[in-house]
Chain A
Amino acid sequence: QSVLTQPPSVSGAPGQRVTISCIGSSSNIGAYDVHWYQHLPGTAPKLLIYGNSNRPSGVPDRFSGSKSGTSASLAITGLQAEDETDYYCQSYDSSLSYVFGTGTKVTVL
């Protein structure tokens, strides 16, 4: 079961800004970095943000991440049709496990 909580869905019109929250606890987000993935089911997930706010090469700067305390968030600005898919946060937990968020489906209206 996921220990990081995300909203099931968020939506926005093309060009708008949307944010996805990821709520954890002191044993995971409060102690370790948060990372974000974009995932179209049935295909390879893609790393979007690592170390809370860093973008791998090739990821547009429309995607940004932040972390504060035991929560984190992913922001997508200038929403595009191609952004419509699932997003997951991920961290490490002091129980020696990697943990994912519950997942958020982004819909472009």
Chain B
Amino acid sequence: EVQLVQSGAEVKKPGESLRISCKVSGYSFTTYWIHWVRQMPGKGLEWMGTIDPSDSYTYFSPSFQGHVSISVDRSISTAYLQWTNLKASDSAMYYCSRRGTAAATKNFFDSWGQGTLVTVSS
């Protein structure tokens, strides 16, 4: 069974750093790209960026480029989303997801983590 299990809720202060994780199981970690999606309170889903776990190639939505980073640790099948200078506006739920593949289509997300709530407040 494919599972993506995310780290627990975080409460941080503005300016602090944070790394949240997404541990996968049930498939070969390096085979499928991992994506991160944000949901701000009361708002919709926003795609942030993605990483190819096989070579750590990343690319981001212009809205998030330069503000977050994504990495992996292949030895423990885990992907990370990281901030170095949190802002109050980063308060949101963050989901990791796996890019699905099918015979005739791609670019969708077939499995998701349960979400990590990040609260940034002074």
Contacts and interface: CB of A to CB of B under 8 A. Distances in A.
Contact of A39 (B45, B110, B111): B45
Interface in A12-53: 32-33, 35, 37, 39, 41-47, 50-52
Contact of A96 (B39, B59, B110): B59
Contact of B100 (A2, A50, A52): A50
Given A2-B46, A33-B108, 4 more contacts: A42-B93, A42-B115, A44-B113, A50-B108
Interface string A64-90: 000000000000000000000000101
Contact of A35 (B39, B104, B108): B108
B61 interface: yes
Contacts of A46: 112
A99 B113 CA distance: 19
Interface residues of A, number: 31
A11 to B, nearest CB: 19
Interface of B: 4, 35, 37, 39, 44-47, 50, 59, 61-62, 93, 95, 97, 100, 102, 104-105, 107-115
B44 A103 contact: yes
Interface string A54-70: 10100000000000000
A97 B107 contact: no
A35 B109 CA distance: 9
B55 to A, nearest CB: 18
Contacts of A103: 44-45
